[in-house]
Structure formats: C-alpha cells, structure tokens
Amino acid sequence: MINRFFQALCIAASLATGSWAIAKDVSPSHAANANADNTAVNARDRSGDSATSFDQPNNKADIDLAANVRKAIVAEKSLSTKAHNVKLIAASGVVTLRGPVDSAEEKTRVDALAASVAGVSRVDNQLDIKQ
C-alpha cells in the first residue's frame, strides 16, 4: 500500500516537474508578450500619492458607477485590450482612469466614454500612452 502511494507521488512529482519545464520554455510568442509588463507604469501606485483600486468606495452608487463606466469602455470594440483593462476608480461622481493605452486617440476615446456615462461629474484622466 505504501509502495503504491510512493509510486503515485513520484509520478505526480515528475509530471509537475515536466509541466514546469514546459511552462518555463521561452517561445517566440512568450518573448513578444514580455513587453506587456507594466511595472514601470505602475510605479506611481507604490508612492501612495495617487488613487488605487483600494480607494474605490464600497457604497452602491460608486460601485454601480464604476461598473457602468467599465461596461461602456468594454462595449467599444475598436479599443485595444489595454484600453479595455484600464484601472478605474469611481468616487462621488469622479472617475479616475489609470493605466496604459495604445495611442493619444485611444486615451481621448476612453475619456469620452467615461464622461458620457450618467452620473459621471468629472473624469481624471491619468492614462499613459504605451505602444
């Protein structure tokens, strides 16, 4: 009984090790995605001087506003994946937009979409253009 358990454990370990080796393999597609790292762009989040997702109020009105702004941005199919995934914080009608987008036009379009949502009084556009 113990011998079979040990065999199963060894097989599981070798499969896990094999999977890890495959996952670590750097393929051309993986290398192309290396530019998706936003560490430098997100440096300001660590400073504590600007709003982060932790600053999103937990009341129904602000949560609903954030959800409606997100829906408006995601519904715009011409935007890039970066633009669809911008950080947004809604607090008392003010929507803060943060993160990378592909172009100045995209930055302007995301701002306009956020501003068009009912309940938004102002947009604080802190989006970065990153190509």
For residue 116, give the CATH number of its domain. 3.30.1340.30
What confidence score (pLDDT) does residue 40 get? 62
Specify if 103 maps to a domain. yes
Q: What percent of the chain has pLDDT over 70?
A: 62
Q: Is residue 9 part of a domain?
A: no
Residues with Cβ within 8 Å of 56's Cβ and at least 6 positions away in sequence, in order, are: 62, 63, 66, 89, 90, 91
Among the ranges given (23-32, 51-60, 100-109), the one the predictor scored with the smallest mean pLDDT? 23-32
Mean pLDDT of all residues belonging to the chain: 80
On whether residue 44 sits in a domain, the answer given is no
CB within 8 A of 12, min separation 6: which ones? none
Q: How many CB atoms lie under 10 A from the CB of residue 73? A: 20
- The boundaries of the domain holding residue 110 are 51-131
Q: In what order do the strands lie in the sheet with 94-101?
A: 87-91, 94-101, 122-129
Pairwise CA distance, residues 120 & 131, whole Å:
28
The whole-angstrom separation of Cα 119 and Cα 123 is 11
Quote the pLDDT of residue 87. Answer: 94
Whether 77 maps to a domain, the answer reads yes
Query: What's the domain count of the chain?
Result: 1
Residues 91, 50 contacting (CB under 8 angstroms): no
Using pLDDT thresholds of 50, 70 and 90, give the confidence band for residue 12: low
In a domain, 89, yes or no: yes
Over residues 95-118, the mean pLDDT reads 97
What percentage of the chain exceeds 90 in pLDDT? 54
Return the exposure string of 90-120: e unless at least 16 CB atoms fall within 10 Å of the residue's CB, then b.
bbeeebbbbbbbeeeebbebbbebbeebeeb
Residue 11 lies in a domain: no
